[in-house]
């Protein structure tokens, strides 16, 4: 299939590579010329604008930092909608708020183009390995059409409902993730302060009702899970500032839905405190540092 791909950052670049590896023809655009050149070396062709990248293709994929970038890439005078042929589907894998996704879908639809929200989880590792999870918001028909393409980039392709529901699924999962991680940090910090061995406590939690991914797969207490960022100084993984972005999207969505999120809003402030203290680049499991006892000069 001939695909236009816009957004070659840490996630987008390996995703576009996987499309090439699966035999698709890919034409790319990014403001960063180095990123474009690397993709061209891998077999893609370079385009001078989103408009040109969307011209003469069977599918457009966008992978961008935030809602404002998606809006610009779509609606600019040199944007996707200026170049795309009627009927061609746009897949946006950016993580943005559901309301924006739905608004973009309306814009695209008015232009004759189906719009699919398909945010991912799995991080840069999953993007490189082609094992991402895609959470897809689309009609049944459009979902059936894009699924094979997404399978070139991911392992789990999940249909979450109509447009916007991919974003809803992602932010609700990450809201819960932000809460459980802080919860594990509290439980592990409290338990070890009270004298229990950290491995014993984790072992009990992992086979009991406190069991969760944040404990059994990604435990923030150093020395429990060898493959977790806590075992390597909280480097790599899913950055605190990215968690903060997703909790911000959850807070926005909660406000629009008129739903309270008591624990989510508090967790958001805790990650904010980590970020404000200069630690936003550490993996989000570094939240456990807020529970460490120590000495301040005052």
CB of 226 to a second copy, least distance (A): 18
Question: What residues numbered 173-202 form the site for a second copy, per CB under 8 A?
Answer: 173-177, 179-180, 182-184, 186-191, 193-197, 200-201
# of chain residues touching a second copy (CB under 8 A): 90
Judged by CB under 8 A, the chain residues 3 through 62 that form the site for a second copy are none
Task: Compute the distance between CA of residue 287 and CA of residue 205 in angstroms, rounded to an integer.
Answer: 19
CA distance 61 to 64: 10
Stretches 1-9, 27-35, 71-79, 153-161: which one binds a second copy (CB under 8 A)? 153-161
Contact yes or no for 177/267 (Cβ under 8 A): no
Place of tokens 């973009």: 104
Residue 170 designated active-site: yes
Q: How far apart are alpha carbons 71 and 64 in whole angstroms? A: 10
b/e for 4-30, b at 16 or more Cβ within 10 A? bbbbbbebbbbbbbbbbeeebebbbbb
- Smallest separation (angstroms) from a second copy to the CB of 293: 5
Instruction: Quote the longest CA-to-CA distance of the chain.
Output: 66
User: Looking at the DSSP assignment, which residues form a beta bridge with residue 25?
Assistant: 2
SS3 98: helix
Considering only 33, 77, 226, 295, the residue that binds a second copy (CB under 8 A) is 295
Cβ closer to a second copy: 25 or 198?
A: 198
Q: For a second copy, which stretch binds (CB under 8 A), given 38-46, 48-56, 81-89, 284-292?
A: 284-292
Catalytic residue among 106, 155, 170, 199: 170
Q: Which positions from 198 through 227 interact with a second copy, judged by CB under 8 A?
A: 200-201, 203-205, 207-215, 218
229 touching a second copy, by CB under 8 A: no
d(CA 228, CA 216): 10
Question: x-or-dash pattern for a second copy, window 104-143, by CB under 8 A?
Answer: -----------------x-----------x-x--------
Sole binder of a second copy in the list 103, 107, 158, 231 (CB under 8 A) = 158
**CA angle, residues 262, 244, 166, in degrees to nearest 5:** 85
Q: How far is the CB of 191 from a second copy (least distance, A)?
A: 4
- Nearer of residues 73 and 288 to a second copy, judged by Cβ: 288
- What DSSP letter does each residue of 216-279 carry, written as one string? HTT-SSTTS-TTSGGGGTT-SSSBHHHHHHHHHHHHHHHHHHT---HHHHHHHHHHHHHIIIII
Which is nearer to a second copy, 116 or 253 (by Cβ)?
253
Tokens encoding 174: 């990450």
Which of residues 53 and 282 has its CB atom nearest to a second copy in the complex? Answer: 282
Determine contact, residues 220/284, Cβ cutoff 8 Å.
Answer: no
Residue 1 vs 254, nearer CB to a second copy? 254
Closest Cα to residue 95, out of 56, 125, 130, 66?
Answer: 66
Q: How far is the CB of 194 from a second copy (least distance, A)?
A: 5
Compare residues 67 and 121 and give the one whose CB is closer to a second copy.
Answer: 121
Contact region with a second copy (CB under 8 A), list: 2-10, 34-42, 145-153, 273-281: 273-281
- For the annotated catalytic residues, the residue numbers are 170
């Amino acid at each position: 299939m001939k695909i236009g791909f816009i957004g070659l950052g840490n996630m987008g670049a390996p995703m576009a590579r996987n499309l090439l590896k699966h035999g698709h023809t890919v034409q790319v655009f990014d403001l960063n010329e180095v990123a474009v050149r690397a993709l061209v070396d891998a077999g893609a062709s370079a385009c001078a604008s989103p408009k040109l990248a969307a011209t003469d293709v069977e599918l457009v994929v966008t992978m961008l930092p935030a809602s404002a970038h998606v809006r610009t890439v779509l609606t600019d005078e040199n944007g996707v909608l200026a170049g795309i042929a009627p009927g061609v589907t746009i897949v946006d894998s950016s993580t943005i708020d559901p309301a924006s996704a739905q608004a973009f879908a309306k814009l695209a639809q008015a232009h004759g183009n189906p719009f699919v929200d398909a945010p991912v989880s799995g991080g840069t590792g999953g993007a490189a390995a082609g094992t991402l999870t895609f959470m897809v918001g689309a009609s049944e028909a459009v979902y059936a059409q894009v699924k094979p393409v997404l399978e070139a980039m991911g392992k789990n392709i999940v249909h979450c409902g109509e447009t916007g529901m991919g974003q809803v699924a992602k932010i609700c999962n990450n809201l819960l993730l932000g809460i459980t991680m802080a919860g594990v940090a509290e439980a592990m910090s409290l338990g070890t302060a009270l004298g229990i061995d950290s491995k014993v406590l984790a072992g009990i939690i992992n086979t009991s009702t406190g069991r969760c991914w944040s404990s059994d797969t990604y435990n923030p207490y150093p020395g429990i899970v060898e493959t977790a960022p806590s075992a390597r100084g909280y480097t790599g993984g899913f950055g605190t500032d990215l968690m903060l972005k997703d909790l911000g999207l959850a807070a926005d969505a909660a406000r629009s839905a008129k739903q309270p999120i008591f624990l989510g809003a508090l967790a958001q402030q805790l990650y904010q405190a980590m970020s404000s203290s200069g630690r936003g680049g550490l993996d989000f499991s570094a939240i456990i540092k807020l529970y460490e006892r120590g000495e301040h000069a005052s």
